[in-house]
Amino acid sequence: MKFEKSLDLLLVHCQGEIGKVLVGGAPEIPGATILEKMNHINQVDDSLRRFVTFEPRAHVAQTVNLLLPPCRPDADAAFIVLQADKAHPMSGSNCICVVTALLETGRVKMVEPETTLRLDTAAGLIVARAVCENGRCLSVSLDNVPAFAVSLDTPVMTSAFGTIRADIAFGGVFYALVDVGQIGLTIAPENARALAEAGIAIKADLKGQITIAHPYIAGLDEVAYVMFRDHEADGTIRTCTTLKPGRVDRSPCGTGSSANLATLYARGQVKVGDIRTSKSTIGGTFTAQAIGETTVGAYPAVLPRITGKAWIYGREELRLSPDDPFATGFALSDTWGPQVGEL
pLDDT band at 4 (very low <50, low <70, confident <90, very high): low
Report the pLDDT averaged over residues 244-256.
Answer: 93
121 occurs within a structural domain: yes
**Tens digits of residue pLDDT in 85-143:** 999 999 999 999 999 999 999 999 999 999 999 999 999 999 999 999 999 999 999 99
Q: Is the pLDDT of residue 2 over 70?
A: no
- Peptide bond preceding 56 in cis form (omega within 30 of 0): yes
Q: Is the pLDDT of residue 200 over 80?
A: yes
Report the pLDDT averaged over residues 226-247.
Answer: 94
Show the domain range for 238. 147-307
The residues near 260 (Cβ < 8 Å, ≥ 6 apart) are 167, 169, 171, 175, 177, 227, 229, 237, 239, 276, 278, 288
Q: Are 93 and 193 members of one domain?
A: no
- Domain count for the chain, please give it: 2
State the pTM of this model.
0.93
Q: Are 98 and 205 members of one domain?
A: no
CATH number of the domain within which 225 lies? 3.10.310.10
Q: Are 29 and 128 members of one domain?
A: yes
Q: Are 168 and 303 members of one domain?
A: yes
State the pLDDT at residue 73: 97
Q: Are 163 and 300 members of one domain?
A: yes
Look up 321 and say whether it is catalytic.
no
- Catalytic residue of the set 14, 91, 132, 257: 91
Q: Are 329 and 285 members of one domain?
A: no
Look up 97 and say whether it is catalytic.
no
Tell me the angle at which helices 254-266 and 92-104 cross, rounded to the nearest 10 degrees: 130
327 occurs within a structural domain: yes
36 occurs within a structural domain: yes
Cβ neighbours of 325 (radius 10 Å): 7
**Tens digits of residue pLDDT in 16-46:** 999 999 999 999 999 999 999 999 999 999 9
Q: What percent of the chain has pLDDT over 90?
A: 89
**Tens digits of residue pLDDT in 142-164:** 999 999 999 999 999 999 999 99
132 occurs within a structural domain: yes
Q: How many Å apart are CA 162 and CA 7, to the nearest integer?
A: 46
42 occurs within a structural domain: yes
1 occurs within a structural domain: no
Q: Are 153 and 298 members of one domain?
A: yes
- Catalytic residue of the set 97, 137, 253, 257: 253
Q: Are 252 and 170 members of one domain?
A: yes
